[in-house]
Amino acid sequence: MYRTHTCGELRLSEANQNVTLAGWVQRVRKFGGLTFVDIRDRYGVTQLAFNQQNNAELCEAAEQLGREYVVQASGIVVERTSKNPNLPTGDIEIQVTDLQVLNASKVPPFLIENDTDGGDDLRMQYRYLDLRRPSVQKNLILRHNIAQEARRYLCNLGFLEIETPFLIKSTPEGARDFVVPSRMNPGQFYALPQSPQTFKQLLMVSGYDKYFQIVRCFRDEDLRADRQPEFTQIDCEMAFVEREDVLQTFEGLLHHIFRYVKNYDLGEVIRMSYDEAMQLYGSDKPDIRFGMQFVELNNLVQGKGFKVFDEAELVVGIVAKGAADYTRKQIDELTEWMKRPQIGAKGLVYARVGEDGSVKSSVDKFYSEADLQAVATAMGAEKGDLIFIVSGEAAKARKQLSELRLEMGSRLGLRRPDDFKALWVLDFPVLEWDEEDQRWIACHHPFTRPKNAATLLTENPATLKAEAYDLVLNGNEIAGGSIRIHERELQSKMFELLGFSPEEAQRKFGFLLGAFEYGAPPHGGIAFGFDRLCSILGGADVIRDFIAFPKNNSGRDVMIDAPSSIDDKQMNELKLRLQEITKA
Ligand code: ASP
The confidence score (pLDDT) of residue 455 equals: 82
The confidence score (pLDDT) of residue 227 equals: 86
User: What are the DSSP E strand ranges found in 393-438?
Assistant: 422-426, 431-434
**How far is the centre of ligand 1, averaged over its atoms, from the C-alpha of 150 (Å)?**
17
The confidence score (pLDDT) of residue 239 equals: 98
The angle that helices 134-156 and 530-537 make with each other, rounded to 10 degrees, is 120
CA dihedral (551, 553, 559, 562) in degrees, to 10, reads 70
**How far is the centre of ligand 1, averaged over its atoms, from the C-alpha of 557 (Å)?**
26
Q: What is the side-by-side strand order in the sheet with 270-273?
A: 160-161, 210-218, 230-239, 523-529, 476-483, 468-473, 422-426, 270-273
Name the DSSP letter for residue 518: T
Is the C-beta atom of 164 inside 6 A of ligand 1? no
Is the C-beta atom of 209 inside 6 A of ligand 1? no
| H helix or E strand, kind and range, residue 270 | strand 270-273
Degrees to nearest 5, angle at CA 169 with 164 and 172:
90
In the chain, count H helices and then E strands.
17, 22
HSE of 355 in the Cβ direction (CA atoms, 13 Å)?
Answer: 1
Is the C-beta atom of 197 inside 6 A of ligand 1? yes
The confidence score (pLDDT) of residue 582 equals: 55
Is the C-beta atom of 193 inside 6 A of ligand 1? no
Is the C-beta atom of 483 inside 6 A of ligand 1? no
Q: In Å, what is the CA distance from 423 to each residue of 289, 390, 567?
A: 10, 26, 51
In whole angstroms, what separates CA 146 from the centre of its chain? Answer: 14
Alpha-carbon distance of 189 to 576, in angstroms, equals 11
Three-class SS state of 31 = strand
The confidence score (pLDDT) of residue 458 equals: 83
**How far is the centre of ligand 1, averaged over its atoms, from the C-alpha of 167 (Å)?**
18
**How far is the centre of ligand 1, averaged over its atoms, from the C-alpha of 163 (Å)?**
16
Is the C-beta atom of 47 inside 6 A of ligand 1? no
**Ligand 1 atom nearest 484 alpha carbon:** 7
With b for 16 or more beta-carbon neighbours within 10 A and e for fewer, the 512-526 pattern comes to: bbebbeeebebbbbb
Name the DSSP letter for residue 8: T
Q: In Å, what is the CA distance from 98 to each residue of 23, 268, 480?
A: 14, 57, 57
Task: Tell which one of 159, 195, 236 to mutate to probe ligand 1, the residue whose CB is within 8 A of the most ligand atoms.
Answer: 195
**Among candidate residues 167, 163, 202, 208, the one with its CA nearest the CA of residue 184:** 167
277 contacts 283 by C-beta, under 8 angstroms: yes
Is the C-beta atom of 232 inside 6 A of ligand 1? no
**How far is the centre of ligand 1, averaged over its atoms, from the C-alpha of 430 (Å)?**
14
In order along the chain (584 residues), what is the average pLDDT of each group of 10 residues? 97 98 97 96 97 95 98 98 96 98 98 93 97 97 98 98 95 87 94 97 98 97 83 98 98 98 98 98 98 98 96 98 96 97 96 96 95 97 98 97 98 96 97 89 94 84 94 98 97 94 94 97 98 96 94 93 93 77 52
Is the C-beta atom of 526 inside 6 A of ligand 1? yes
Is the C-beta atom of 118 inside 6 A of ligand 1? no
**Which protein residue's CA is at the shortest distance from atom 4 of ligand 1?**
195
Task: Tell which one of 171, 211, 233, 486 to mutate to probe ligand 1, the residue whose CB is within 8 A of the most ligand atoms.
Answer: 233
The confidence score (pLDDT) of residue 222 equals: 81
**Among candidate residues 467, 479, 398, the one with its CA nearest the CA of residue 429:** 467
- For the chain, domains (ranges, CATH) are 12-103 (2.40.50.140), 290-415 (3.30.1360.30)
| H helix or E strand, kind and range, residue 329 | helix 328-339
Is the C-beta atom of 527 inside 6 A of ligand 1? yes
471 contacts 478 by C-beta, under 8 angstroms: yes
In whole angstroms, what separates CA 172 from the centre of its chain? Answer: 21
With b for 16 or more beta-carbon neighbours within 10 A and e for fewer, the 470-481 pattern comes to: bbbbbbbbbbbb
In whole angstroms, what separates CA 489 from the centre of its chain? Answer: 36
Is the C-beta atom of 35 inside 6 A of ligand 1? no
Is the C-beta atom of 171 inside 6 A of ligand 1? no
